[in-house]
């Protein structure tokens, strides 16, 4: 067994909550560090509520755990510098640096021979017109940092429509694709890799609504997707679970983005696999053997967003629905409140 007994998690949202629950099944404790509201604190062994510039709190947190991981990418560099001086961070800092910045991410992916949408760096508003002239329209302007679930993005449908995001950005050309899929893959410190089946994703208004497994695509497409995912985690010397979103196009797979953590599109694994993505991540960062990720049943995962919470009483009566609620307070529009895994 691993010598690790307590795992520190940066971020206290639903992913940290489910990581903590998975760790508890393996007899491990989790300590959450979160500046704001922390649903994960309801199920974790310990919770520190402090900002990321509180050096004393960061130091005490790091000294209380054996290894540190994270449930979201945008942890300030200064906090990571301090934490890493005390305890190892898994996945590593390179994976964070690549994924925190869309320009760095796309440059990295191209550098290891993987296709992305055409893109241009747009460091300031005055550079936008030149970028649009190069990439064309329709295109989408995305902030280099911090954007998620459709935030920090502007669709540009006409060369005269030059709306600015307000921050250094990347302009991406639109990709004609027939489907979006995602691969959830894990890599251990010894290089062992285990991937879950690719899932078919459906988004609305920039937010993932559902993931269906199996994805219904050819064996060649799913095999290529897993090979791409493996290339990425190996290139980063990665330890933990990563989510990789890909577009299916007539000329092959294009990488949309990577997430160096457990991922929304991997929630189906809770109902479809003996070892789900959360346990897989805990195993990897704690130095335990990986599970094989084999799927034993077909699953459709649906996010419960905002007023979808009104459907929970009905969902509770469904015999083949596995419900996960995140313990959040107000069900605001666009806010992920939970998800349901329906077993086919």
Binding site as annotated, residues for ATP:
102, 142, 147-153, 172-175, 180, 203, 256-257
Contacts of 129 (CB under 8 A, 6+ apart): 159, 162
Give the whole-angstrom CA distance, residue 185 versus residue 269. 12
User: Which helix (H) or strand (E) segment is 22 a member of?
Assistant: helix 14-25
Using the CB atoms, write b or e for 212-231: b if 16+ within 10 Å.
bbebebeeebbebbbebbbb
Give the whole-angstrom CA distance, residue 186 versus residue 228. 13
DSSP label of 40: G
- Residues belonging to the binding site are 102, 142, 147-153, 172-175, 180, 203, 256-257
Give the whole-angstrom CA distance, residue 202 versus residue 209. 6
Contacts of 203 (CB under 8 A, 6+ apart): 180, 209
Strands 67-70 and 6-10: parallel
């Amino acid at each position: 067994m691993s010598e690790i007994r307590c795992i520190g998690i940066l971020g206290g949202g639903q992913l940290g909550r489910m990581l903590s629950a998975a760790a508890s099944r393996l007899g491990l404790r989790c300590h959450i560090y979160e500046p704001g509201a922390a649903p994960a604190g309801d199920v974790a062994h310990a919770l520190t509520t402090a900002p990321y510039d509180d050096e004393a709190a960061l130091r005490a947190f790091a000294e209380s755990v054996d290894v540190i991981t994270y449930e979201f990418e945008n942890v300030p560099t200064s906090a990571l510098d301090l934490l890493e001086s005390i305890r190892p961070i898994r996945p590593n800092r390179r994976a964070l640096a690549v994924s925190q910045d869309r320009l760095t991410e796309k440059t990295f992916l191209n550098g290891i021979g993987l296709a992305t949408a055409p893109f241009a760096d747009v460091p300031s508003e005055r550079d936008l017109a030149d970028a649009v002239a190069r990439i064309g329209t329709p295109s989408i302007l995305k902030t280099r940092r911090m954007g998620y679930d459709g935030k920090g993005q502007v669709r540009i449908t006409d060369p005269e429509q030059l709306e600015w995001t307000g921050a250094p950005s990347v302009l991406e050309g639109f990709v004609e694709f027939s489907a979006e899929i995602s691969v959830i893959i894990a890599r251990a410190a010894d290089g062992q890799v285990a991937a879950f089946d690719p899932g078919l994703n459906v988004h609305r208004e920039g937010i993932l609504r559902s993931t269906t497994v199996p994805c219904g695509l050819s064996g060649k497409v799913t095999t290529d997707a897993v090979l791409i995912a493996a290339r990425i985690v190996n290139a980063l010397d990665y330890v933990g679970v990563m989510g990789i979103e890909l577009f299916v196009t007539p000329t092959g797979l294009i990488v949309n983005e990577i997430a160096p953590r457990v991922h929304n599109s991997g929630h189906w694994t809770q109902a479809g696999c003996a070892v789900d993505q959360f346990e897989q991540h805990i195993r990897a960062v704690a130095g335990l053997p990986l599970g094989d990720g084999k799927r034993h049943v077909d699953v459709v995962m649906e996010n419960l967003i905002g007023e979808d919470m009104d459907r929970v009483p009905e969902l509770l009566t469904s015999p083949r629905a596995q419900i996960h609620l995140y313990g959040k307070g107000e069900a605001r529009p666009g806010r992920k409140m939970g998800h349901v895994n329906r077993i086919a």
